[in-house]
Chain A
């Protein structure tokens, strides 16, 4: 579904991603974890086309998208959310979601796009009046809106950037449920950055760990959480082995 080969991204002298290769298979739910500043969001920005990698190449459904513009990548079926949620504040919830349907999934008719947006808002269980402005929403609903907007483009794969951050336990469970429904009902592959480890344990079949822009470890959540190098990266210093 999604593959990166030897990706390097530099910001001046800082190497945010170095020689990183990864693969996400269809219908997988893959987690991307790592300490702050390890390059997780940079990787998402490179995948969605907001940054161009300095070296390496990216493939979406076997097509090379390394040089594609963000809107082209979106149209090819890659949706994403942002760590700092960015709803279109001065637009209604309905408009926020309908835009994706209009521009990426080829819907021309505004009325039909809005009907589709209504369905998606129900799918993410956003119960707020869809004719209200997005600026009125509280954080959990903003996150739902963010996911809804990404779903409106009919993605085959969705990149979720810390959708659990700032949510309470009930809300986290609802979000986990949503991620599973995305895969079961809509057949969407999920690639997610996450800090809430319990949520990773419940959702991901595989986890990739980044540190200083390099892949530190990869495996099932259980394997990774017991990996000495991962523990060291998170806690710092050396780990005493019993």
Chain B
């Protein structure tokens, strides 16, 4: 029994130890390359955890989350360029506008289910950049994009700042996502994923819950988009509204296990690292080789662990625990 408690303590402390270690990592003055990987990794963790609220828990696979990311990015850039307000404040406004947008488009698209919802959100993600390109270029940058002034610090400090902020965002979104999964809200979303009309017959207002999940998810992604824009300092409709980005978020969450809160974290960590390792592993070879291997790994996981890595691991752990319990019950009988 004592072992069990120690094990649980260990399970609770290890993630926090890792987070603290990651937070103090820049003090070692590492190569900027590693800080950049950190920023991207944390961003994908944060995006995946936010996406998971609607895509994983409720099972509404959105392929258009880049739309929310881009809205956040554009709000931040416009506020900085025109009014000189710091992105670290206006990113909240970006989140709110993304949420508002999600609320409005949610009315029609959340009525669709399964692949129809995915297609509708995919189209949404494609439509928004077209709108932005056609807005008056003098204000919105049009096809030239927008340049933002750099933070007045040297490049290492700059990277460190964004590294720490993205780490914080990753931690916060993961905590939110974990809290939701264990709450009444999360249970409701899960029942919608399992069977929406059955869920309705036991008192669940599925439209309201789905909308809440979609809006919250968009809000978080909008904030991340704002920070990402300031990190890039140059934004263009094709970079911040990139459909590849939307797909990448979905892949990472599914790869890790979208029904769990750990899934997007594990998925993003493994895929970002594999991606980087592959790119550096075949230095002379054409870039396609690393993409091929990356794709192969994805296919293998989807074939053999269709519910993602974490789902697989958690079920295995749980079945072991339940077996042990059942055995104890049998002994006492």
Contact = CB atoms under 8 A, between A and B. Distances in A.
Given A74-B203, A79-B201, A110-B187, 16 more contacts: A48-B201, A49-B201, A71-B206, A74-B201, A75-B203, A79-B202, A95-B187, A98-B187, A99-B187, A99-B188, A99-B191, A99-B202, A103-B203, A103-B204, A108-B184, A110-B184
Interface of B: 182-184, 187-188, 190-191, 193-195, 197-206, 259, 322, 325-326
A216 B194 CA distance: 37
A110 B197 contact: no
Nearest to B190: A91
A50 B201 contact: yes
Nearest to B325: A129
Interface of B is mostly: helix
Contacts of A82: 198
Contact of A104 (B184, B190, B203, B259): B203
A54 interface: no
A34 interface: no
Interface stretch (A145-153, A193-201, A205-213, A231-239): A145-153
A10 interface: no
Nearest to A106: B203
Contacts of A113: 184
Chain A interface extent, by class: 35 or more
A71 B201 CA distance: 5
Interface string A83-125: 0001011110001001110111100101001000000000000
A56 interface: no
Given A89-B194, A110-B183, A104 B322 contact: no
Contacts of A105: 203
B202 A74 contact: yes
Contacts of B190: 88, 90-91, 95
A5 interface: no
B194 A71 contact: no
Interface string A64-82: 0000011101110001101
